Amino acid sequence: MGDIYYAIAMAGRGLRFAEAGFSLPKYMIEAAGRTLFEHSVFSLPLQLAAKIFFIALSEHEQTFRLSAFIKEKLGRSAAAGLAWELALLDAPTRGQAETVLKIQDLVPPESALAVYNIDTCFSSATLAARLADPRARRDGVIGAFKLAGPDPKWSFARTGPGGAVVETAEKVQISDNALTGLYHFSRSADFFEAAGAAVRGGETERGEFYVAPLYNRLIAGGRRFVLDEAEELIPLGTPEDVAAFRRKAQR
């Protein structure tokens, strides 16, 4: 058992997939022999988990028996036996940061928190060791990958001398360090305080409360964060992404 509390935000309705003709929630869609849930969750070093929180919509539990789905997928993997909990919301929130804020009372404030999504797959040979080393992880680790050329649809981080993160941005390409969607905080209290302040102040980016911009508030307060660079990243957030992944897997 590890010491990281994972928060997997999966409380959206996946409207783009519904409009493309998919009848299942996005994370139950299969591609290359696995559901998007499996591709995403099993990207993480789950051996470091103290507990995994899956934050989803009540309507998906009622209609698709989500808890049974999660139990089956975890039980058939190396994650079998890990503690997990399904936190249900009555309606979608205004973004990932607000979604994860809903479990604040369930995570010890001095424990580590790692926020992740349900529609990105990545591979990193260094992430587990970095997260396990207090000196290497500093106040938190942000998953990243090198982006070749302009593509501002991602979240980004800019680093300074020594590799520390000095700025993050959402949908503004401030560097070639695009973000995988893994957001780690050595103290969960840092995330919850920053997210709470952002929500109270209405600090949205393009109408949503994203996680990446929260780091700027913490950096200004003296916190130090580092990047972990993934060797591979596969986006699965749109029907086009899934179609491209399926084509690649068939080659």
3-state secondary structure the chain: CCCEEEEEEECCCCHHHHHCCCCCCHHHCEECCEEHHHHHHCCCCHHHEEEEEEEEEHHHHHHHCHHHHHHHHHHCCCCCCCCEEEEEECCCCCCHHHHHHCCHHHCCCCCEEEEECCCEEEECCCHHHHHHCHHHHCCCEEEEEECCCCCCCCEEEEECHHHEEEEEEECCCCCCEEEEEEEEECCHHHHHHHHHHHHHCCCCECCECCCCCHHHHHHHCCCCCEEEECCEEEECCCHHHHHHHHHHHCC
- Strand 84-89 and strand 49-57: the pairing is parallel
Average pLDDT over residues 239-249: 94
Alpha-carbon gap, residue 122 to 109, rounded angstroms: 28
Report CA-CA distances (Å) from 172 to 96, 148, 167, 204, 250. Answer: 18, 15, 11, 14, 34
Q: Which residues contact 6 (CB under 8 A, 6 or more apart)?
A: 44, 46, 49, 51, 52, 53, 113, 114, 116
CA distance 179 to 88: 27
Q: Is the pTM of this model over 0.85?
A: yes
Evaluate whether 28 touches 73 at the Cβ level (below 8 Å).
no
Percent of the chain clearing pLDDT 70 (strictly above): 100
* CATH assignment at residue 139: 3.90.550.10
Spatial distance between the Cα atoms of 57 and 76, rounded to a whole number of angstroms: 24
Say whether pLDDT at 95 is over 90.
yes
Mean pLDDT of the chain: 96
Average pLDDT over residues 16-21: 93
- Full residue range of the structural domain in which residue 189 is found: 4-249
What pLDDT, on a 0 to 100 scale, did the predictor assign at position 80? 84
pLDDT score for 2 = 83
251 pLDDT exceeds 80?
Answer: no
| pLDDT tens readout for residues 159-199 | 998 999 999 999 999 999 999 999 999 999 999 999 999 99
Q: Average pLDDT of 201-229?
A: 97
Per-residue model confidence (pLDDT) at position 203: 95
Number of domains in the chain: 1
Give CA–CA dist 142/214, Å, rounded.
12
